[in-house]
Structures are given as C-alpha cells and as structure tokens.
Amino acid sequence: MSNTDAPSPLSAIASTVSRGGTSRRGFFALGLGAAGGALLAACGGAGTAGTGTGTTGPNAQLAGSASGTLKWGWALPTSWDPVTSSAGWDVHALSLAYAGLTQENEKGDAIPALATGWKYNSDGTQVTFTLRPNLKFSDGTALDATAVKQSIERGRDAKNSLIASQLTGVKTVTAPDPVTVVIDLARPDYQIPNLFAGKTGMIVSPTAFTADATGLALKPVGAGPFTLTSYTQNSKAVLTRNPNFWNADQIKLAGVELYPLPDAATVVAGLQSGQYNLAQIPGSQIAAAKAAGLTVQVIPSLVVATLDVNTALAPFDDPDVALALKYAVDRKALLQTANFGYGDVAYQPFPAGYVGNNPAIGEPYPTDPAKAKALLAQSKYGPNPEVTITTSTAAGVPEQLQSQLQAVGFKVKIEVIPAAQFTQIVYVQHSRALTVDGFAGRDSAAQAFQVLFGQQGLMNPGRTVPPELLDAVAKIAVTPLDSPDYPAVLQAATALAVKDMPNVFLYTIPRILARSSKVSEIPAYTVVQRFEGVTIK
C-alpha cells in the first residue's frame, strides 16, 4: 500500500485542523475527538457487462437547468491530483472534479460511469471497458480510450505516484479504438471495476499532466460533475457545474463551495448564518443542530475507528499482551465518548450489511478486565507493562482509553504528535507500538485487506501476516464479484484476520451531515459522497 492510502488518526475536533493543506487529519476528529450496508456484489464479473445511462458531450449542455451553490463544510484535499493525493479520504473532494470508468451505487456495487460496461475474459486476466462516446475533460480535450490508457499508465508508472501500488497488477493497457480500453493483468483480478471506482481509477487529462503535472495539485483537470474555478489552500475551493459531465442531467447544482472541516463549537452557528448550507458534524452537535431547525442525516459509511498495534515493538511483541489489549477495551464506552453513541461497536473492519462482514464472528473480544489481567500476568512483561498511546490529540478517546488500560494493569502514557508529522512517524518509520487511528474503507475489498493486513500495509506496522491469511486474501481477487462463492471467500478472510491479526477494531463512524432546509436530501452513498439530484431552493 502506498501513502495515498494512509489511514488518518482520529484527532480532536477542537484542533480544527483541516485535511487540506499540510494536514489530513481533521475529518476523523468527528469520530474520535473530545466532542466527538455496502455490498460489493455482482457487476462486471467474468462475461458480464454493466449498463447505464447518462447525458454525454454537447448534448449535456441542453439537459435541464442548474441553480444554487452548495456550501459544504467538509475537508479540502491534500492534493487535487489523484496520483499525488496522500489521504484516502480525499476521494470525496476529488470526486467533485474527476470521474472514473466506474462508480459505486448506494450499496457499494460497481456500476458504469465513463464506461458503459466491461467484460472479463475467461480466466480473469483481461478486462475490456467500453467508453461512452464524445466524452470531454474540463479543459475541452477528448476523453477517449487513448487518454484513459495514458492516465492509467501514469498512475502506475509515475515516480511520484501514490497509487502505483494499487496498479502493479496492470501489465498493459491498449486502446484498439476510441471507445475500447483493454487492460491485461499480470494475474486474475476481478476487483478492478471496484478499484477503478475510487481515486485509483480517476481519469486525468493527459494534456494537463504532460504540460504541467505538478500544477494538478492545485488545479485539477478531470471529467467530473464540477470544474474547479478558484482555490485558496486551507481555506476554500469554488467549483462550477461541468456541462460536459457524462451524467450532467442529474447535476442540479450550479456549483459547490468546499470548506475545511468546521469546528465543532461553531458548526451549527455557521449553518445558521449561511456560511455553510451543508456540513459534517459530530454526534455531540446533533441535538443542537435539530434545535436550530437544521435537518440531520446519519449516513452509514465504511469508516471504522481502530487501534494500530505494532507487534514488532514491546510490549506487543508478546502475544499475551496483544490479546490482553483486546479484552481491556470497552468499545461501547469509547463510542459514547467519541460520537455520542452514533455508530456501532465493531470487532471487524466491515460494517453489518457489507459483504465482507462475517456475522458468525459475533463479539470475540468482549470487555473482560479479569481476562486481560490474567493474560498480562502470564506475559514476559509481567502484570504492569509500559505502553504509550500515540495520537494527534490527548483529548477524548485517548484519555478514556488510557483509563481503561490502566484499570487492567498497563502503565500508560499518551504521546501527542503534530498531525503534519503523524504519517511519517507512525506509518513510514513504524516507530510506535500503539496508535489511535481510523480506517476509511476502500472501494475494493482486496484493497482494504491490503491496507489493513498486507505485508506492506500501512495499518500493519508489524509487517507480519500468517500464511493462511495470505492465502485467504489471495482468493478474494481471483473470485468474480458475481460468483456465489464471493461472500464466503471474503468473510473467511475477515474471520482469519480478526483471529490472527493484532488490529483492535472499536466502532463504526457514520457520516453525519446537517443541512439547511433549503437543501434537498443528500444521497446516502456508503463509500463516496455524491450529489446527483441534490437541489437548493
């Protein structure tokens, strides 16, 4: 996994640090600060092509009318170039400016986008996408098969690409005609349609990256529903409706203004004043938002709060200590502190209803202080091992976690690392034993496993993986999404990971959006927030 998929620690909302600019931590404050049903199913499997509709090219300019500007308090991206974006959560902002060959529906199924469909060969080593005709980038250049080929190759081959590790299986890309893209794979991989629905599959204008690749960080050139017209780093992005978007007839907004994550203490006032008309809020502000006459939507997501455990470092190099940690944690209490109870206690990386969620797992590590104490007592470190909780804020959940661990015998310190240094210290240097963290989910289940449990996965700092788990994960990619065996294959890997890996999953974090009465209902997309059909009175 590359740095583009680096998870973000869940930091205090009071810090008001945005995920734009130099930091990418602010969003997760909503899940773990002091204030605190996706089915990747059968589309585009072997011999299967998706179908879809949309208005494309010049005709899109005639499709309906758009009005109103959505003022979204959310997060600014680390980079407007999907190849150099360094945060998984950037996908929400980047999806305003870019489109991929596929996208995901509300359930998380891969469905057509720039491509009308796709088809695998018999052994899953080649997938052919058919593009919509007359597509254009926001700079007016043609988005044809050659452009798609060049964009994918750049993501795979560019020296500064942070999505390259997701494309190592792409052997060759060819464009036999303007609307046909053929991807030959080094090995069978039926996850490609889902993988291409996220940042990895966003198509960038070759004209733009050939002329000024570094400039894309501040000025995206894609084919998404909107075009960036103004950008002030760490402050504001202004986007206007793109009439040449393939699905332009479903975009009813004239534009979007994107802002950094609002401070929890002022977000409701900002919505009341009109500074925002849509904003992410923590669970602590739901009552205040409703009292102010705002509408609140709680949208399930793939985000889950976690503790990253480095089993290469003391005291977690002793399996008894790593297991004691799982029994020492009171997940329900942490959920209440972090998000006022919004979300669900989690023992696995996937939420209930997602195809990877294994219901048979149940609650394998219920809070059991006595068992935790017994495990510590028999460990080589004795009943009172020393441990440091690494975080980007000392408030809220880290403090409560400290208390829970001390109750079973751990001697606990809290280390606060500035957000701008967090990735380097925790995920590149692998120099911390216990980290308060969060996993934002991935469009592809295989990609999610790679991030969490792969031998090079950033959320696997100990870099150890049992052979049986490696084998189980390998089966995911070679199983077609429409195969009746796919759910069982994925859930078997989940069960092994929960049993054998040290990651401590805590609770799910829904997307909580408060909006003005002038804004219509926001579509409940599990993985990436989109705005088809949204209107403003």
Length of the chain: 537
HSE-up (13 A, CA, CB side) for residue 152: 29
Q: Which of 506, 476, 500 is nearest to 489 (CA)?
A: 476
State the total domains in the chain: 1
Residue 487 in domain:
yes
Question: Could you tell me which of 207, 197, 245 has the C-alpha nearest to residue 97?
Answer: 245
CA dist 29 and 15 (Å) reads 8
Q: Give the C-alpha separation, 274 to 304, whole Å.
A: 31
pLDDT of residue 32: 52
β-pair partners for 387: 412
d(C-alpha 470, C-alpha 124), whole Å: 20
Q: Residue 394's pLDDT is what?
A: 63
288, part of any domain: no
Q: Give me the CATH number covering residue 364.
A: 3.10.105.10
Residue 453 lies in a domain: yes
Q: Which residues of the chain have pLDDT under 70?
A: 1-64, 394
Give me the pLDDT at residue 63, please.
41
Enclosing domain of residue 347: 3-36+302-508
CA distances from 146 to 13, 50, 223 (A): 44, 21, 15
Residue 205 domain flag: no
| Alpha helices (H) in 199-247, listed in sequence order | 206-212
Question: Is 218 part of any domain?
Answer: no
Helix (H, G, I), strand (E, B) or coil at 46: strand
Give the model confidence (pLDDT) of 148-158 as tens digits.
Answer: 999 999 999 99
Q: In 3-state terms, the chain is what percent helix, strand and coil (to 5)?
A: 30, 20, 50
Looking at residue 353, its pLDDT comes to 84
First to last CA, the chain: 43
Give residue-wise pLDDT tens across range 369-423: 999 999 999 999 999 999 999 998 767 899 999 999 999 999 999 999 987 788 7
Instruction: Output the six-digit token pair for 503.
Output: 């990651």
Is 470 part of a structural domain of the chain?
Answer: yes
Q: 159: which 2 tokens?
A: 């020296």
